[in-house]
Amino acid sequence: MAVVAKLIDVSTCIGCKACEAACQEWNDNGFRISGFTGDYQTHETLAHDFWNLIQFNEVERPDGHVAWNMAKYQCMHCVDAGCMKACPAPGAIFRHENGTVDFDHDKCIGCGYCITGCPFDIPKLSPVTQKVYKCTLCSDRTSVGLEPACVKACPTNCLTFGARSDLVQIANARAETLRADGHEHAGVYNPQGVGGTNVLYVLPDASNPVQYGLPADPHISWTVSLWKGPLKWVGNLAFAGTIVGALFHYLRFGPKEEEKEGGDE
Amino acid sequence: MSRSLARFSFAERAAHWMAAISFIYAALTGLSLWSTHLYWLAAVLGGGPTVRWGHPWGGIVFAVVLGFIFLNWAGQMRLDADDRKWLAESHKYAMNEEEGLPEPGRFNAGQKMLFWVQSACALLLFASGFVLWWPAQMPRTLLSAAVLIHPATAIVAIAGILVHVYMGLLVVPGALHGMVRGEVSRGWAAAHHPKWLRETSKR
Amino acid sequence: MTNGWTDVANADVVLVMGGNPAENHPVGFRFVMEAKKSRKAKLVCVDPRFNRTAAVSDKYVQIRSGSDIAFLGGLIHHALSTGSFHEDYVKLHTNAPFLVEDGFGFEDGYFTGWNAETKKYDKSSWQYVKGPDGFARTDPTLEHPRSVFQLLKTHYSRYTPEKVSEICGCTPEEFTQAAEIVCSTGRAGGAGTILYALGWTQHSHSVQLIHTAAMLQLLLGNVGMPGGGINAQRGHSNIQGATDMGAWNALPGYLKLPRANHTSLAAYDGAYSPKALRPNSLNYWSNTNKFMASLLKAYYRDAATADNELGYHYLPKAAETADHSWGRLFDTMYEGGMDGLISFGMNPVANGPNSKKMIGALGKLKWLIVAENFETETAAFWDAKGLAADYYPQALDPKDIQTEVFLLPAACFAEKDGAFVNSSRWLQWKHAALDPPGDARDDHEIIGRLFLELQRLYREEGGTAPEPLLAMAWPYGNQTKPSLEEVAKEINGQFVQGGKQVSGFGELAADGSTICGNWLYAGSWTEAGNQMARQGQDDPTGLGLFANYAWSWPANRRVLYNRASADAEGKPWDPQRAPIQWKDGRWIGDVPDYSAAAPPERNGSFIMLAEGVAKLFAPDFAEGPFPEHYEPAESPVDNALHPAVKSNPAAIYYGRDVDKIGTADEYPYVAITYRLTEHYHYWTKHVASSAGLQSNFFVEIPEALAEEKGIQTRDRVRVRSARGMAEGFALVTRRMRPLQVAGKTVYQVGLPIHWGFVGRVKGPLVNNLTPSVMDPNSGTPEYKGFLVSLEKV
């Protein structure tokens, strides 16, 4: 099965939240009344019951004019997924054949290590079930040949779903068009720090992804890499070394004398 | 005069074994999440979610008991000149050639070092563990630091305890009895803590 | 819309002004994006607020609310002064060559004929020069000083970029940059569209505003062109249908109300059958008699006979000059002039201007029937004091209100069959998705039961003038709940003899031999079946006409005035974008405006107008034949064009105690109201998804003003007008910058509507603040551009 992806063409996103509504409906997450976020955004950030959020970023452009960047924000389905790397429960986070990163909530233990592992701050712990939730790229839809709910709902064709290799080409072509149209820094967001992502963005100004609410150079935290890499070997060696050392010590030197003369007065 | 000497009070022994049990529980549950190859431990200990729930509580019990022990023993654990000399030549102790080493008091310098190392580890484990307990509420920087500090410290602590257990069970016969029943023979004291024996006898 | 949503994809330039389609018409907006993506179309957004549409526009210009005519007048001036208008089109398809009487003029803010006492114009000087044949005289060269073209040029010569800047608050450079893009379509081979909505229709000069836009499009040669036109984005999924069917002061198919002086059917037909002003004018309204006869026949069937003038006298007649607009209705009610009101799917307390007046008006009724999905503010108006004490301290206590309120639970749109008419004029048949909950009933069942019961009471008990109700035909199989298929067939029209469906309005007759519920919909359900339910997706022209998908009024025509897309010989201005063309003795392509066999020179392209061509000079409107910039009723500045006449002199004011008008010294900021994408009107605050996606009422405040007032985002602020108050969260933004208007700094504040005192989420009714000042032509209130003050709570 080909690796699939979702393409978000930020230049055509109008922040209508159809994707949010479709995501909530399809995944049976319901709708919470939200507090005032200070702008048009539905919630401050993602939640265990809110997996797809349009971020509204009011920024100043280099020419001094204001820009209002709206960009959809959800699990990126990284090729090198930090959540998977950090997860201690075998099978709780797994990758479908089509490249989608998904959670098996029967196996999730709710430790939240994936939250630390994710450079995009996506997985969210439910205070009720004590399990972690995020966008599944509608694996229950894609597995039967449908597009994800958000893509289905998008009115401006800002979202496209398909084979990743095709979408990379479409994205590059669209960025090329935007560059020719005066957006000189237009480009594709497919951050290599996480080995690329299965959610791709076309950004009108790719020189500064932060203005769209995306990390400039996301990568799995070095502490996580160290923890899951070298430290594991250090630890294993330390434990094994201690045990083997004790064994050899006992064989070589044995126990000390239990008692000594001179204790009696 | 009795041949036995009171070595550890009931409170000291109770605290020690509470600490031991909670440490072992925290260590085993922790190890189950340390590597997928040890995840079977989680199954043995009640399953993943139980382990995730129980590990912090085990840690809390350990931290509280250790806090009690710390307050009780910190004064006795100061290293003096003799201890430093002892430490400098501790390889002799390891090779069971204690002649010429300064005579240990109630605790030898190795035990004192274990005390300080475990106390420091407990502090770090507690702080980083608390962060990891509430991943949804903690800032990312703290979480990133905690995921490294917690296991790194645990390695030191577990290795230290392995040595401690090995010493107590196998290397120093009679030590376990002292920690279980609270009393040791004068001969044992003379062999392992002569200075303590002298000081106790003076009183 | 003259064109349609799918057609927007054909545009080279999309001017969005007085609307925010990305926010309020996101599904239709895909065609704007399509134009941008596939044609590299330029999107120009002109709005008081940097909104969701502005965010994806190629050029955004911020203007002061209520200054749109000045901006559009500037565009007209730009087109004429730089020669970027489509001259051949203007000569052929508009009344630019018509000559105007010498008596007509414009001076110091008034056109000739102003009567300061009646506050109305005497339009007798607004006339074409007519020849002895009764036809208007023309100068095809457009050079005659009394030609419409020259008068137009002179009128708009005052709208220079500097003047536009002075009035609108944008810089002259910003204006000119936008003008160059918009006017780039003023040539053969270019097409630009204008999308607008309530940002244009809700002013005290709104009809003239839209006239200005139409004039601009005519000068640029964009009307009738694919990718062109003047396109109103309708708000409700079926508001176009409601308008077509004669929502309040018209009969179906835009037939005008019979008046008291139309004492016979012939008098009525005569009054509304204009005389052609040019020899080639098809003058389609000369068929009024056929449409009216068929409508009467639909109403009264067998009771409509030649002897009783087809039952014409059963129809109620309005007084000769009576105004039956919405505002007048509630004003009359406020004065105690009405006993009862049936409110279907409408929530006047929330959506009328000056909510306090609405609540006061309803309290004067004896009875009020509200048919709704939810208990609305209107149904709960009697408890306004209890539910929103802060806002209506003067409201009556429930015990002092004598109005008896009946709330009838009605089915919602997804629970009903029938047709929607969308902005594109497409009638689309739909099927109910689920059953109505509980006791909720379809609207037509409620109406059916009400009608039958009233008819029974009149029949059994008599009453004043029972005849109209008793004569009304009710020829439906299921009397209490007529099938919508039957009703749709009746609306399409049938031959009385044999009962066959008519195939179009060309078959309607004036002699009572046809029935037709709405002549515009004739052809929607023919002998070939329900045309509205068609799903054909073939598009042979590639222009997105989709002639076999649903059915478009009139006559399934997809681009109105499509004849204007071709030159005198019927050759398309742009062969790539030709909805129709004259080929081998026939018009081919879209359904043409007139007979497919009529040669190009026979008729003018604007068949509904007596002129036969489009009107740049339109002597129809209350405040003049040419649109002129007037300030809103409440404005912080003088009229920069003529200080003596500030606001629209013909605007409707009611002058009751609650109809207060504020001034800038007390209320210094310009307020605008608007809608958010998450909500639909005042309805969706009852709906979980909408309430969850946008829960809180907020006030958008420019950064500089917020600094001045010490306000920060998330603070609570209070907005007051001369009429009322609204309180909510502050949203401080750089997207609304202070404007320099005539040397003065003007701040605008933004107020989204949608909240009220009942629903899952609650907030103030923004219409507490709005003035009951109306456009004199449409009767639409000035919801945009009124004055408020702002304070931190």
Instruction: Kindly report, residue by residue over A198-223, the tens digit of the pLDDT.
Output: 999 999 999 999 999 999 999 999 99
Q: Of chain C residues 153-172, which have a CB less than 8 A from chain A?
A: none
Residue C364 pLDDT more than 60? yes
Separation of alpha carbons A80 and A197, rounded Å: 8
**B interface mutation test: which of A258, A261, A264 has the most B CBs within 10 A?**
A258
Residue A263 pLDDT more than 60? no
Q: What is the residue whose two structure tokens read 């002003």?
A: C277
Tokens of A6: 């979702």
R_g of chain A, CA atoms, integer Å: 25
For residue C456, give the H/E element and its range. Answer: helix C443-461
Cα separations (Å) of C390 from B42, B93, C720, C747?
A: 60, 85, 12, 26
Query: pTM for the complete prediction?
Result: 0.93
Which residues from B are below 8 Å from A94, CB to CB? Answer: none
Which residues from A are below 8 Å from B136, CB to CB? Answer: 112, 115, 124-125, 127
CB contact under 8 A, B51 and A109: yes
pLDDT for C337-363, tens place per residue? 999 999 998 999 999 999 999 999 999
Residue B203 pLDDT more than 80? no
Cβ C43 vs Cβ C56: under 8 Å: yes
Query: Is the predicted ipTM greater than 0.90, yes or no?
Result: yes
For C729, nearest residue in chain A (alpha carbons): A36
pLDDT band at B124 (very low <50, low <70, confident <90, very high): very high
Q: Between vectors from CA C274 to CA C272 and to CA C276, what angle results, nearest 5°?
A: 165
pLDDT band at B97 (very low <50, low <70, confident <90, very high): confident
Q: A70: which DSSP letter?
A: E
Q: B167: which DSSP letter?
A: I
Q: Can you give the pLDDT at residue A259?
A: 82
Q: Can you give the pLDDT at residue C321?
A: 85
3-state secondary structure of C188: coil
Residue C76 pLDDT more than 90? yes
Which residues from C are below 8 Å from A158, CB to CB? Answer: 33
A–C CB contacts, 8 A cutoff, strictly below = 100
Query: In 3D, which of C557, C772, C561, C750 has the Cα closest to residue C62?
Result: C750
Instruction: Quote the minimal CA–CA distance from C713 to chain A in Å.
Output: 6
Q: Can you give the pLDDT at residue A264?
A: 56
Cβ C57 vs Cβ C21: under 8 Å: no
H helix runs in C335-422, sequence order: 348-351, 355-362, 384-387
CB contact under 8 A, A88 and B36: yes
The DSSP bridge pattern shows strands B4-6 and B183-185 to be: antiparallel
The DSSP bridge pattern shows strands C744-746 and C748-752 to be: unpaired
Q: Other CB atoms closer than 10 Å to residue A217's CB: what's the count?
A: 10
In sign, the C-alpha dihedral spanning C649, C651, C652, C656 is negative
Listing DSSP states for C308-325 in one string gives: TGGGGGGS--B-TT----
pLDDT band at B2 (very low <50, low <70, confident <90, very high): low
Separation of alpha carbons A16 and C679, rounded Å: 11
Query: In 3D, which of C526, C531, C633, C547 has the Cα closest to residue C591?
Result: C547
H helix runs in chain A, sequence order: 18-26, 82-86, 113-117, 139-142, 149-153, 164-180, 222-228, 230-253
Non-local CB neighbours of B113 within 8 Å, separated by 6+ positions? B79, B87
Separation of alpha carbons C366 and C130, rounded Å: 54
Query: In 3D, which of C674, C673, C675, C665 has the Cα closest to residue C634?
Result: C665
Instruction: Quote the minimal CA–CA distance from A149 to chain B in Å.
Output: 27
Taking phi first (over 0 means left), then psi (-120 to 50 degrees means alpha), and beta for anything else, what does residue A157 get? left
CB contact under 8 A, A109 and B52: yes
Spell B171-182 as b/e; 16+ CB within 10 A means b: bbbbbeebbeeb
Cβ A77 vs Cβ A198: under 8 Å: yes
pLDDT band at C235 (very low <50, low <70, confident <90, very high): confident
Q: How many helices (H) and strands (E) does chain B have?
A: 10, 2
Tokens of C424: 């594109």
Q: Can you give the pLDDT at residue C159?
A: 98
Tokens of C680: 């639909």
Residue B3 pLDDT more than 80? no
Cβ C485 vs Cβ C529: under 8 Å: no
Tokens of C262: 């139309």
Residue A261 pLDDT more than 60? yes
Residue A265 pLDDT more than 70? no
In sign, the C-alpha dihedral spanning A21, A24, A28, A31 is negative
Separation of alpha carbons C262 and C211, rounded Å: 29
pLDDT for A36-55, tens place per residue? 999 999 999 999 999 999 99
Q: Which of B55, B150, B164, B177 is catalytic?
A: B164
Q: Other CB atoms closer than 10 Å to residue C463's CB: what's the count?
A: 10
Cβ C708 vs Cβ C647: under 8 Å: no
Average pLDDT over residues B138-167: 96
Tokens of C525: 């359900």
Residue A1 pLDDT more than 80? no
Against chain A, the chains showing at least 3 CB pairs within 8 Å are B, C
Listing DSSP states for C660-707 in one string gives: ----TTTS-EEEEEE--TT--TTTGGGSHHHHHHS---EEEEEHHHHH
In the chain, the amino acid numbered A207 is S
Average pLDDT over residues B150-176: 95
3-state secondary structure of C727: strand
Separation of alpha carbons A220 and A118, rounded Å: 7
Tokens of A7: 């393409």
Instruction: Evaluate whether chains A and C are touching (3 or more beta carbon pairs less than 8 Å apart).
Output: yes
H helix runs in C107-194, sequence order: 148-156, 161-168, 172-182
Which residues from C are below 8 Å from A152, CB to CB? Answer: none
Instruction: Quote the minimal CA–CA distance from A186 to chain B in Å.
Output: 30
Q: What is the residue whose two structure tokens read 């003369």?
A: A261
Query: In 3D, which of C534, C531, C528 has the Cα closest to residue C549?
Result: C534
Average pLDDT over residues C109-123: 96
**A interface mutation test: which of C52, C62, C762 has the most A CBs within 10 A?**
C52
Backbone angles phi, psi at C8, to 5 degrees: -60, -30
For residue C217, give the H/E element and its range. Answer: helix C206-219
Among the partner-chain residues A232, A234, A259, the one whose CB lies closest to the CB of B188 is A259
Separation of alpha carbons A38 and C387, rounded Å: 26
Active-site residue, B164 included: yes
pLDDT for C410-453, tens place per residue? 999 999 999 999 999 999 999 999 999 999 999 999 999 999 99
Average pLDDT over residues C158-185: 98
Interface check for C761 against chain A (CB to CB < 8 A): the answer is yes
Beta strand spans in C544-664 (E): 551-552, 580-583, 586-589, 652-653
Separation of alpha carbons C340 and C405, rounded Å: 10
Cβ A64 vs Cβ A58: under 8 Å: no
Beta strand spans in C203-344 (E): 230-232, 340-344
Average pLDDT over residues C219-240: 94
Backbone angles phi, psi at A40, to 5 degrees: -80, -5
Among the partner-chain residues A12, A21, A40, the one whose CB lies closest to the CB of C689 is A21
pLDDT band at B1 (very low <50, low <70, confident <90, very high): very low
